[in-house]
Amino acid sequence: MRFERALFIYNGNAGKKDIKQALGLTVPILSSSISNLMIVPTQRINHAKELCQLHGPDVDLVIILGGDGTVHECINGLANLDNPPMIGILPAGTCNDFSRSLMINQDIEIAAEQLINGESIPVDVLKVDEQYCLNFWGTGLIAETSNNIRETEKQHFGKISYMLSAIRTMKNIDPFKYALDVDGERMEGEALLIIVLNGNYIGTKMMPFKAIRFNDGLADVFIIKHTNLTLLKELITMDITIEDNEWSQEINHYSGKSISICTEEAMDADMDGEVYTKAPSHITVLKHHLHILTPILKFA
């Protein structure tokens, strides 16, 4: 057996038919390489975090069957452990953004095969004040977009609901003043959006910035100013690459290990797809803090 003990967490509030099918597809594959597989459904908000804190020290592997929210909860339960176990992600949510950065197949049966036969790679984690995130932190348009997603749209349109909310939010968003410190370099200005990226995808869309790496010990900060509603719309609706073209001068980009974002008033901040906290915030990059199973691929 490749693993002695593993904790398998899934969203207990998901549809019974969908969960039964997902477990039926993945558990036989996982069991072939795990001696003792403990399967536990989540029952409430933050239950995944609690399960990881409770069982994490005693297992070799935590398998997360769920979307970005479930992964986020688990990361917050594991990141504080002295010796966190390996992580495996089976994408079963609306967007599954960080799993896309890891090039995990979005078919959970294939993903389970990749997990068992894959390799463990080190991954950076963003510590945001006293919380953690894996994919991104953002304030301004991105947080308001999360706030404005209509549950009926999410149920009927899935990942498209994010785009619909973003376009709707753009019509009413106002610029905000900020002060930013990146590794001791300070800058100020006005923006519609500040985003700190560790992963490459948001709302299933690959970000058009080539600098982003989830294992380089740096976070990438992008600032879009108040003059750029056209740019924002293109970022959300089109496949463009921001490099040496007309948009490259419209976005401020910084990278660093220690990032402080100050705003005049407290503003909602999105972490990994949900509004969990507020700006101002301080972000520290924890290089190679966790290890995640991925398909056997080369990551730069």
CB atoms < 10 A from the CB of 85, how many? Answer: 22
Kindly list the domain boundaries of the chain, sorted by start residue.
Answer: 3-117, 133-288
pLDDT digits (tens, 9 = 90+) for 74-98: 999 999 999 999 999 999 988 899 9
Instruction: Check residue 155 and give its pLDDT.
Output: 47
Any idea which fold 133-288 has? Tumour Suppressor Smad4 (2.60.200)
CA–CA distance, 77 with 61 (Å, rounded to integer): 13
Any idea which fold 3-117 has? Rossmann fold (3.40.50)
23-53 burial by CB neighbour count: b if 16+ within 10 A, else e? Answer: bebbbebbbebbeebbeebbeeeebbbebbb
Verify whether residue 274 is a known catalytic residue.
Answer: yes
CA–CA distance, 296 with 212 (Å, rounded to integer): 20
pLDDT digits (tens, 9 = 90+) for 7-61: 999 988 776 778 889 999 999 999 999 999 999 999 999 999 999 999 999 999 9
- Provide the token pair at 16: 């019974």
* In the predicted structure, residue 100 carries a pLDDT above the cut 50: yes
Assessment of whether the complete model's pTM goes beyond 0.75: yes
> CA-based angle 208:210:215, to the nearest 5?
120
